[in-house]
Homo-oligomer: A and B are copies of this chain.
Amino acid sequence: MDIRSLRYFIAVYEERSLSAAAKRCFVAQPSISTSIAQLEDDLDAKLFVRHSKGVSPTDNGTQLYPHACKMVGDLSAMRNLFVDSPTPLSLSISLTPFLSGSLISQVIKTMLNKIPGLTLNLVDESESADLRFTCGRYTTEEDIFYPLWEDDYVVAMPLDHWLTDFASISIKQIDKQPFISRTPCDILESWNYLMQKQGLTTDIRAQVKTEEYALDLVAAGLGISLIPEHSSRGRNDLCLRPLNDVKLKRVVGLAHRKEQSFPAHLINTILTAKQQLKINKSVIEPKLA
């Protein structure tokens, strides 16, 4: 019976779903599941009935909800007992769907942990926001950019492709291969230049707009493609291999306009979040010759 359980409870109650609550709390779904089960055990009362499309609160759950809200509210009020200016810092951050959700979660989680009273509003990249997750290449002189991690471009191919026999792949092996091209792509020009320089060509079978669609086509066997590594996580229907003679990458981070200023501890938090990031590489990098 701790505060964390109550926070999760509130999220579940409001979302009417464990999975949605998990997303909102930036944790995995089983954490919510066990935490709610434990709370039900402590209180000796079922709080939700589970069904196929989520959960609905029982009478007990409905009764508990306002108490839980008050509790959590009181606790965060206590935080601010000794701060002179309450400064209820509120930020909007825009996300692009093709960036690694796992890494972005980690960053947002440390921000929420380290900055008491921070409320975040996550919006789509189309909307304007105080901060945005983006690639270094998409920032201008008007921006300040805090790099967070690097995303290597790797070759994505169907599971049964003959190139899977190689632990890493040379750009020459891609010559004349069926290829899924993707625009916009921030390394398209570099890629084309590299191919031309070596007199190589690809057999472009499809031209798509999003990484996810490109991955679907690769999995379907239409060809191979070049995709940032972290975008293709969690798919076991295709195979990734690093390039061994060229290294293409993008730098992902947080950017904001130069004019905009933020409290120093926010910036510090971004930097420490970078330190603490746990990056699970799914492919083993070859040593560049």
Binding site for B on A (CB under 8 A): 1-4, 42-45, 60, 63-64, 67-68, 70-71, 74-75, 78-79, 81-83, 116
Contacts and interface: CB of A to CB of B under 8 A. Distances in A.
11 contacts: A1-B78, A2-B2, A3-B3, A42-B79, A42-B116, A44-B82, A67-B74, A67-B78, A70-B74, A71-B74, A71-B75
B79 A1 contact: yes
A4 to B, nearest CB: 7
B45 A82 contact: yes
Contact of A4 (B2, B42, B43): B2
- Looking at A42, A64, A70, A71, the one whose CB has the most chain B CB atoms below 10 A away is A71
A42 B81 CA distance: 11
A220 to B, nearest CB: 49
Contacts of A60: 81-82
Contact of A81 (B64, B70, B82): B64
Nearest to A43: B82
Nearest to A64: B81
